[in-house]
Structure formats: C-alpha cells, structure tokens
Amino acid sequence: SGGTVEWTIQTGVADTYSLTFRYANQLARPLTAKLTIMGTDGKLLIKEEAVELLPSKPGKWNYLATSTGTMINAGSYRVKLTGIDAAGLSLSGLEVQ
C-alpha cells in the first residue's frame, strides 16, 4: 500500500496513446491505484486518474487498459502508478501503443 512504480516512455509522433498494464491481484477484492502521466520536467499532463485493479484468476495475469486521454507530443514522459489500497499487487509491465 502506498508504493509507486514509474516508467519512462518515449513517443515518436504526436498522438493519443493506449497504455496497458499487466498485473496480478491475488486478493478476492479489487485494489485501487492512482495513474499519473507527466513530462520529464514533472509537469502533470493529464489529471490523476484513480484506477481499479480487479482480482486475477489463480496463476493468471490481468490487464488494465487506459490511454493518455489526449494527444501528447513526441518526446519522453513519465508514467506513474501509485498504490492507494494495493497491498498484494504484482506488476509485470507496461505496454504503450
């Protein structure tokens, strides 16, 4: 609970990008986290978004699909996922398309 995972992503062209997080939640209840996308200068690009991480089937991964919500320019960005009530959450990665 309260931990943060941060990725640095690179975009090649101005576009709206989809973000897919691979995670495992072995608890019987949803967990909550906060998603933040910032420029490398720390400027917030989109409003912080609360996300719900649903329980996973035993031995399986779940996927959380979201997007940048708006067009972002080519460049480098920081994507942060901060646990609000996320004790027991395992993250495997982030895919950007």
pLDDT digits (tens, 9 = 90+) for 21-79: 999 999 999 999 999 999 988 898 877 899 999 999 999 999 999 999 889 999 999 99
**Which two tokens mark 45?**
């690009």
Reply yes or no on domain 4-96 having CATH 2.60.120.260: yes
The model's pTM is 0.88
Looking at residue 27, the DSSP 8-state letter turns out to be: S
d(CA 54, CA 65): 12
For the chain, the structural domain boundaries read: 4-96
d(CA 81, CA 74): 22
Distances in Å between the Cα of 70 and the Cα atoms of 21, 45, 54, 61 are 18, 9, 25, 27
